[in-house]
Amino acid sequence: MNRENLKTRDEQIKKVESYRWVVWTILAAVYIFVTFHRMSAGVVKNDLQQAFSIGAAQFANIGSMYFYAYFIMQIPSGILADKLGPKRTVSMFSILAAIGSVVFGLAPNIGVAYVGRFLVGIGVSVVFICLIKIQSRWFYSRNFALMIGFAGLAANLGAILAQTPLVIAAQKFGWRNTFVFMGLAMVVFAALTMIFVKDDPKDMGLPGMDELENRPAVSANIKVMPALKSIITNKRTWVISLAYIGLYTGYVVFLGTFGVSFLMQAYSLTKVKAANYVISAVIGSSVSGLIIGYLSDRFKNRKIPLVLSTTLTLIGWIILIYTRMPLSLLTPFLFVFGFVMTGFTMCWTVGNEVNDRRLSGMATGVVNCVGFLGAAVIPVVMGNILDKYKNVPAVGYEKAYFVLIILMAVSTAASFFSAETRGKNIYQEK
C-alpha cells in the first residue's frame, strides 16, 4: 500500500473513531429514557396508589407490565437488531414508547395505566440490544466490556432521573404531566436516531470493524431459527443467564420498585431522603460498570469479577434487610451495594462471548429474557406478601425480600459455573 493510500486509510479510521461517538451518544441518550421508565414506578408509588385506589400487589403489576412487555420482546428485539438494524428499529419503537408514556400519564383508570406501561415496555425493549449491536459494529472488540460499562453509565443516569428529580418534578408539575413530557421528549430522540445513527461504518463508505480487526465479515443473511437454536442449546448461555437473573432482579426491585418505600419504612425517612439514599446505590452502580468493564478488559478475566459480584451482593442483601445500621453508614453501604450488584454487566459480555459473534443481538436478548422474567414476576410476588402483612410492614418487607435473597443465592451458585472467556469469543460451531 503506497503512502497516499495509507493516508486515506488513516483518515477513514479517524472518521470511524470520531463518528462512532455520535452514533453511540444518541442511542445512549435514548437508553436514559429506557431506565427512567424502568425505575420510575417506585418513586411515585404513593401517587399511583392514591390516583387509582390500589394496594401493593396492583402497584407491583404497574411496574411489571413494563417487564412483561420487555420479556416478550427480548428475542424479537435481537432478531430486529440483527436483521433490520438498530437505526430503524430504535426509531420506530421509540415512537411507540412515547405514545405509551403519554397514555400512562393521562390514564383515567388502572386498566389504561396498565396499557400505557405495556406500550412503554414494548417500545423501549429494543434499545439496549440495539446499543450492544452498535457497539459491536462501531467499536473494537478489545473494548467490549468497557463499552458495556459506558452503557451502564447511561442507564444509571436514567435511574438517577427516576429518583429525587422525579420526586421534585412530580411534586411541582404532577406525576401525570411529567410522564406526558417524557413521552414528547422521546419523540425528539427518535428523530435524531433516524437522522444521524448509522448501523455500520460501511453505511458511510468507511471501513467496518471486521476489516479493521482483520476478522471474517459478518453477513446480514442470518437464518433466525437455526441462530436461536444455537444460542438456546448452548449450556453456557443458561449458566450465565442464571447468574444474571438474581443480580438484575435485585437491581430493579431496589432501585425501581420497593427500595424507596423499604427505606422509608425501615428508617422512618421522608420520600425525598429515601430517594437520595437510593441515588447512592445508583452512583455506585454507575462507577461499577466502568471500573469492572475496564478491569475485566485489562486483565482478560470475566469469571472472577462475576463471582465476587454475586457473592458480595448476596451478603449485602442479607445485611440490608435483616440489620439496621446507623444512617451515617447507610450512604457508603448503599454505594458499595450498588457497585457490586452491577456485576450483571459481565453477564451481557459473557453471553456474547460464548455464542456466535454474528448473533450479538439475539444472544443478548436471550440472556435479558431470563433476567426480565425475574424482574416481572418477583415484584408481584413481593407485592402480594406486602399486602398480606400490610398491618405489620416490617415483617412484610423481611418476608418479601427473602424471596429475592433465595433467587440471589441461586445466581451466586451459577456464577461459579460460568465460562471464563479471557476476553475472547470462545464459541465453536458443532
* Residue 206 resides in a domain: no
Encode 180-203: b = buried (16+ Cβ within 10 Å), e = exposed.
bebbeebeebbebbbeebbbbbbe
The vertex-231 CA angle with 364 and 242, nearest 5°, equals 65
Angstrom distance (rounded) from CA 355 to CA 230? 8
* Residue 211 resides in a domain: no
pLDDT of residue 217: 63
* Residue 78 resides in a domain: yes
* Residue 283 resides in a domain: yes
pLDDT of residue 237: 94
Q: What is the pLDDT of residues 49-92, one digit of tens each?
A: 999 998 888 888 888 888 888 888 877 887 888 788 999 999 99
Write the DSSP assignment of 241-261 as a string of letters.
Answer: HHHHHHHHHHHHIIIIISHHH
**Residue ranges of the chain with pLDDT lower than 50?**
430
pLDDT of residue 106: 96
SS3 (DSSP) at 107: coil
The vertex-18 CA angle with 195 and 159, nearest 5°, equals 70
The vertex-50 CA angle with 47 and 52, nearest 5°, equals 105
The packing angle between helices 345-353 and 271-299, to 10°, is 30
Boundaries of domain holding 131? 15-194+224-415
- The number of folded domains in the chain is 1
* Residue 265 resides in a domain: yes
Write the DSSP assignment of 365-413 as a string of letters.
Answer: HHHHHHHHHHHHHHHHHHHHHHHHTTTSHHHHHHHHHHHHHHHHHHHHH
Q: Comparing C-alpha atoms, which of 163, 169, 200, 168 is closest to residue 185?
A: 169
Provide the CATH number for the domain around residue 371.
Answer: 1.20.1250.20
pLDDT of residue 257: 81
pLDDT of residue 339: 94
Dig out the grid coordinates for 346 from the structure: 459481565
* Residue 430 resides in a domain: no
**472472577: which residue's cell?**
304
pLDDT of residue 430: 46
Q: How many CB atoms lie within 10 A of CB 428?
A: 7
Dig out the grid coordinates for 122 from the structure: 414494548
Q: Are 31 and 148 in contact (CB under 8 A)?
A: no
* Residue 201 resides in a domain: no
The vertex-103 CA angle with 170 and 258, nearest 5°, equals 50
* Residue 361 resides in a domain: yes
Angstrom distance (rounded) from CA 152 to CA 190? 20
Dig out the grid coordinates for 338 from the structure: 450498588
